[in-house]
Chain A
Amino acid sequence: MIELLQYDFMVRALIAAALVGLAAPVIGVFIVQRRLALLGDGIGHVALTGVGLGFLTGNSPVLTALVVAVVGAVLIELVRVHTRTSGDLALALLFYGGIAGGVFLTGLAPGASTATLTSFLFGSVSTVDQQDVYVVAVLAAAVLAVLAYFGRELFVLCQDEEVARAHGLPVRFLGMVIAVVAAVTVVIAMRVVGALLVSALMVVPVAAAQQLTRSFRVTTGLAMLIGVLSALTGLSAAFYTDTAPGSSIVLIAIAVFAVASGAGAVLRARRGRRSGAGRDARAEPMADTISATDPGSIST
């Protein structure tokens, strides 16, 4: 493990990966609860057009991707709010347009190849430069700060949008905050995990953590821990196997999920047996309970 740290590029990549692992599950816990688990995916596709634009215009692809991803996220949120349905078709068009635009613009750019684009699709160990680390650090701090500032409002919003409105909360604005923060997170994660897999780092650690927890706060903390550990171990594995880090990071996160859901099942069975003797002796009818009628976007 120590020899990894002898390579400067690896140190930079590990720092970036740790920051991504920390920030992605925090926005993830809100988008999972809001049933937008695929939002990150959509933004990732759109961000690729930004990457292509960066290659073509000779600007930093990370910065152009940031602008395009934020614009895309705002559009996605507007479509979602105004169509009242999921806006399925409009979103699909945006996603395909995003990835097609990215491939097309990169193809037009002199010197850029599909290989260059691949490093943005699935992440890359060796291409994170010093400037990238600074950008990632600043953006990760911004993501965490915004979520700490709006955390309670977002909790209410993601629990029940109507209740949030009945509290007088600015629901449209808060929805936009979630979309924009998700876009920024996608761009941070793009260098290490890749645009196509970044969403996994938002969603999978949350899905794993919620197998084991009872509170929102603990779920968030545990998801961050799982995110950081998957990102660091996945990146190291990628170094040794010479593969794209996005794949190993996501596979490790999914392995953690598998273990957690097994452990969660055991935990719940034990909890049920313990409480079964006393408190559930006069169980109320289960009609209309959440678990009976609505499993949520991620099964627990």
Chain B
Amino acid sequence: MLPQASPAETSSPLAFSVRDAVVEYDRRPVLRGVSLDVRQGEVVAVLGANGSGKSTLLRAMLGLVPLAGGEVSVRGVPLRRFRDWGRIGYVPQRLSAGGGVPSTVREVVTSGRINRLRRFLPPSAADRAAVDDALASVGLGDRAGDSVHELSGGQQQRVLIARALAGGPDVFVMDEPMAGVDAANQQALARTIEGLSNRGATVVLVLHELGPLEPLIRRSVTLDHGVIAHDGAPPRPEGDCARPGHDHVHPHADADRTPAAVPVIEVSRRD
């Protein structure tokens, strides 16, 4: 039984449960009592204007910002006691510059397996395979040896997604993964995310617009001034799966299992 996030399947366990979350920056409320349940296997888009609290909600769900009120639990465990971080893949809004010490695409993507790498030992064959798969599925297989600082913004965005993929999590939290990515690569990333979803992964992502992800997203949460203004089917100009050539595959997999490997998805190479 694979959760497909259809309204009928409300029985799968919760990936995230947010209760009355309040977040303040310097006493200025950014989230003002947000409650949200995300079930395992759901793909949820978080929408809203700039400053509506989208990113803050995502960060609160991962405990990256302190809550001034309310609570968050991940997989049924209060955030404070949650330890199974290897199952969560976080894609931040952009690659942080740091102090400018160069690192290669492969080094950054390999660091996504921090919870799996063995101390003092070089990455194992399984580690390297997972990194190769992650790079291939974002179309950066041939840039592994390049410095991430030499890449364009869209390519850096794909490195961040590959880093999250490499850890083999089954819950993805992505903060504007499409920002700065050109149209062709947005399509490719949409296919990657669809592949993840087909394998039962939970995906929560902040988006500016649904774009190429539209066929995949059945639930969107719209924030307005720190409260949820809408939670349900996204505004949609056409019916579900009405797109010509849309072939929605529902493989039968054990929903409780972490995807054994990152799916390799053929994407059009821009290079």
The chain A residues found within 8 Å of chain B, CB to CB, are 29, 31-35, 37, 148-149, 152-153, 155-156, 158-160, 162-163, 165-169, 206, 210, 213-217, 219, 278-279, 282-300
Contacts and interface: CB of A to CB of B under 8 A. Distances in A.
B35 interface: no
Given A167-B114, A289-B156, 16 more contacts: A33-B100, A152-B114, A158-B99, A159-B111, A168-B82, A168-B85, A216-B102, A216-B104, A217-B107, A282-B270, A284-B154, A289-B151, A289-B180, A290-B148, A296-B100, A300-B100
Interface in B89-127: 90, 92, 94-104, 107-108, 111, 114-115, 117, 119-120
A163 B174 CA distance: 12
Given A156-B111, A159-B103, A289-B151, A214 B145 contact: yes
Interface residues of B, number: 52
Contacts of B115: 167-168
Contacts of A156: 111, 114
Contacts of A166: 62, 64, 85, 88, 90, 173
A81 B85 CA distance: 23
B151 to A, nearest CB: 7
A162 B152 contact: no
A34 B98 contact: yes
Contacts of B88: 166
B254 interface: no
B103 A167 contact: no
A96 to B, nearest CB: 25
Contacts of A292: 153
A296 B82 CA distance: 34
A108 to B, nearest CB: 39
Interface of B: 59, 62-64, 82-83, 85-86, 88, 90, 92, 94-104, 107-108, 111, 114-115, 117, 119-120, 145-156, 163, 167, 173, 179-182, 185, 270-271
Contacts of B153: 284-289, 292
Contacts of B114: 152-153, 156, 167, 169
Contacts of B163: 163
Contacts of A32: 99-101
A294 B97 CA distance: 6
Contacts of A206: 101
A215 B103 contact: yes
Nearest to B96: A160
27 contacts: A33-B98, A35-B99, A37-B99, A149-B120, A155-B107, A155-B111, A159-B96, A160-B96, A162-B59, A163-B92, A206-B101, A210-B101, A213-B147, A215-B147, A279-B271, A284-B185, A285-B180, A287-B180, A288-B153, A289-B152, A289-B156, A289-B180, A290-B148, A296-B97, A296-B100, A298-B99, A299-B100
Contacts of B100: 32-33, 210, 295-300
Contacts of A287: 153, 180
Scoring B100, B107, B114 by chain A CB atoms within 10 A of each residue's CB, the highest score goes to B100
A89 to B, nearest CB: 19
Nearest to B107: A216
Contacts of B182: 284-285
Contacts of A213: 102, 147
B107 to A, nearest CB: 5
A153 B180 CA distance: 28
B168 to A, nearest CB: 13
A144 B90 CA distance: 30
Nearest to B85: A168
Contacts of B97: 290, 293-296
B223 to A, nearest CB: 20
A290 B107 CA distance: 17
Contacts of B103: 155, 159, 215-216
A35 B98 CA distance: 6
A55 to B, nearest CB: 36
Nearest to B120: A148
B108 A159 contact: yes
A290 B102 contact: no
B99 to A, nearest CB: 4
A174 to B, nearest CB: 11
A82 to B, nearest CB: 13
Nearest to A161: B96
Scoring B146, B153, B185 by chain A CB atoms within 10 A of each residue's CB, the highest score goes to B153
Nearest to B82: A168
A87 B93 CA distance: 26
Nearest to B147: A214
Nearest to A223: B101
